[in-house]
Amino acid sequence: MTVTLADVAARAQVSPATVSRVLNGNYPVAASTRERVLKAVDELDYVLNGPASSLAAATSDLVGILVNDIADPFFGIIASAIQSEIGGPGGRAGGERLAVVCNTGGSPERELTYLTLLQRQRAAAVVLTGGAVEEGPQAAAIAAKLRKLADAGTRVVLCGRPPAPDTRAIALTFDNRGGARQLTEHLIGLGHRRLGYIAGPEERTTTRHRLEGHREALAAAGVEEDPRWTVHGRYDRRSGYEATLELLRRDPTLTAVVAANDSVALGACAALRESGMRIPEDVSVAGFDDLPFSVDAVPSLTTVRLPLADAGARAGRIAMSREDPPPGGIATIRGELMVRGSSGVPRG
C-alpha cells in the first residue's frame, strides 16, 4: 500500500501542511516537530511523489560526514581528512562533491535524523565516525537506516567505528581494546598496581573496548581491580578534572590515572596539580589518541597514537570509490604506544 503524506502526518501527530514544510524546507518548524516528522517518514518509508522523486532518482553529489563533536580534535582531524578526499576526480559536477559535516552531539536520535535527511537527498556516500551505541532501539533503527542507504546506492563507510553487521557498511575500526591493553601494560611494567581509570559514556562502543583492554591487562598481571577505581564521564577536559577529584576522594593512594582520551587526561593533570601532586613523581597519567596538543603538554603525555588523519583519508577514498574496500569490508587499524614524560615509576 502506498504511504501518503497524510499517513506521515497522522504518525507524527501534526498537520499535513507541517509535514510538507519539513520536507520542503521552505518554512520554519520547531526542531522537536521536525525530528518527529522525519522519524515518521523513516518509519513509514515515505517517498515523495512527482517531480521531486524523479529528481531524487539519481544519486547526488552530496557526501555526509557524521561526527559526535566537531570541536573535539579527534573528530575534527578525521572529518578534515575525509573532506580532503571528497573533491577532485570522481565528482560529477566539475569533479567536485559537496561534503556536509553533521554534528550529532553523541545523540543516536540526532544521528538517525541526519541519516534520514541524507537518505532523502540521495547522498552519494555517508561516513560515520567514532563510537556507536550498541544496544537498544536506537542501535536497531540506525542499522536499519544504514541498510536502506546501501540499498538505495549510497556507499556507507564507518571510520573509527566497529563493524555494523548486515548493513553492507565498510568499516575501518580502531583497535581500542589492544591499544588500551598496551597502555596499561606499560604502567604495570613500571610498577603501578593501583590505577584509577576514567572511562567515557557507558553506552559507547569506544568506552567499552578501551575499558576491556585496560581490565585485560590488569587481569593478566594478577592485579585485582577495585570497583572504586573506575569512574565514567564524558570525553572532555572538564570530565577528566571532575573524575580525577572523585578518584582521589575514593582512594588517595592511587599511583596512576588512565584517561579515556587525551582531553580527559589534560583535565586529570589539572586536578592533580591543584591537589598538590606532581606528575609523574606522585601520580602518572596516560591518555589515548595522541591529539596534537599531547606532545606539548607539561609534562608531555604518554598515550596511544591513532593514525586519525590517515584513517580519515582512507575512508574518504573508499567512500569515493578511489580505493578498494578492505577484504571482507573490515580493516582493523592499530595504535602505537607513545611513552612520554607523564608516566614514571610509582612513588615509594
Quick check: is 313 in a domain? no
Tell me the whole-structure pTM to 2 decimals.
0.84
Residues of the chain with pLDDT under 50: 49-58, 90-94
Supply the CATH number for residue 195's domain: 3.40.50.2300
Out of 269, 288, 305, pick the residue that ends a domain: 305
Quick check: is 324 in a domain? no
Quick check: is 337 in a domain? no
Q: Helices 108-120 and 31-44, interaxial angle, to 10°? A: 60
Quick check: is 295 in a domain? yes
Quick check: is 157 in a domain? no
Question: Which residue range(s) make up the domain with 1?
Answer: 1-56
- Strands annotated E in 256-327: 256-259, 284-286, 303-305
Out of 56, 76, 93, pick the residue that ends a domain: 56
Quick check: is 129 in a domain? no
Quick check: is 167 in a domain? no
Handedness of CA 69, 70, 72, 76 (dihedral sign): positive
> What's residue 91's pLDDT?
42
> What's residue 43's pLDDT?
75
> What's residue 54's pLDDT?
36
Quick check: is 82 in a domain? no
Out of 14, 41, 56, pick the residue that ends a domain: 56
Total domains in the chain come to 2
The average confidence (pLDDT) of the chain is 89
Q: What gap in Å lies between CA 180 and CA 287, rounded to an integer?
A: 9
Supply the CATH number for residue 50's domain: 1.10.260.40
